Homo-oligomer: A and B are copies of this chain.
C-alpha cells in the first residue's frame, strides 16, 4: 500500500526497514471520489497530500468569481497550500479531486514528529521543496514569455496524455485564459 511513497523517498534518501515502518505509521492512505474536497478556502490546511493515482486540482476564486487553477496534483507529487501549512493561516485555495484518486496524507503535526524519529526526512523534504521551487521558477518563464496559444501548444506537446484526462475548461483555467479562447485555438487546425 505504502510502497509508492517509500520508493519515491528512496530516490532521494536510503531508508532502513525500521524507518520504513515508522513512516508507514505516520501517514494515512486516502481514497477520494471525483469532486471530493481535501480542503477549502478559509479553513486552515493542516496536511500535505502525495498523489499516487488519479488527479487533483488546486484553485482559488478570483475577484470576478472565476475559478483559477494554479496546480494539478498528479502521480508522485506533493501538493498543499504551503502558506497555510507553514503559518497556520486560513487557506487561500481549494484542493479537489478531479478524478477518483488515491493519496497519502501527511498531517503537519505528524510531519514534525516524523522528523524527530527519522531525521533523514528533513533531507528528503529539503530536496522536494527545492525542486518544487525550481519548478515554480521555470513555470514563470513559460507563463510570462508565451502567448495563450503558445502555452496551449507547449503544454499539449509536453503532456499529450494528460490533456485527454481532464476537461478542457480546466486546462484553460490552468493556462490562464477562458474556455472560449481555448475553443478558438483548437478550431484553427
Q: Which of A78-118 contact B (CB under 8 A)?
A: 81-83, 85-87, 92-93, 115
Q: A155 on the interface (CB 8 Å rule)?
A: no
Interface-lining segment among A14-22, A31-39, A132-140, A160-168: A132-140
Q: A180 on the interface (CB 8 Å rule)?
A: no
A7 contacts across to B, CB distance below 8 A? none
Q: Are B129 and A83 in contact (CB under 8 A)?
A: no
CB distance from A80 to the nearest CB of B (A): 9
Q: Which of A32-84 contact B (CB under 8 A)?
A: 60, 62-63, 68, 70-71, 81-83
Q: How far is the CA of A70 from the CA of B86 in the complex (A)?
A: 23
Interface of A: prevailing SS? helix
CB distance from A111 to the nearest CB of B (A): 10
Of B68, B87, B133, which one neighbours A133 at CB under 8 angstroms? B133
A92 contacts across to B, CB distance below 8 A? 138, 141
Given contacts A122-B123, A126-B125, A126-B129, contact A83 B144 (CB under 8 A): no
Identify 6 residue pairs between A and B in the complex whose beta-carbon atoms are under 8 Å apart, listed by A's number. A68-B144, A70-B144, A92-B138, A92-B141, A119-B122, A132-B133
Binding site for B on A (CB under 8 A): 60, 62-63, 68, 70-71, 81-83, 85-87, 92-93, 115, 119, 122-123, 125-126, 129-138, 140-141, 143-145, 176
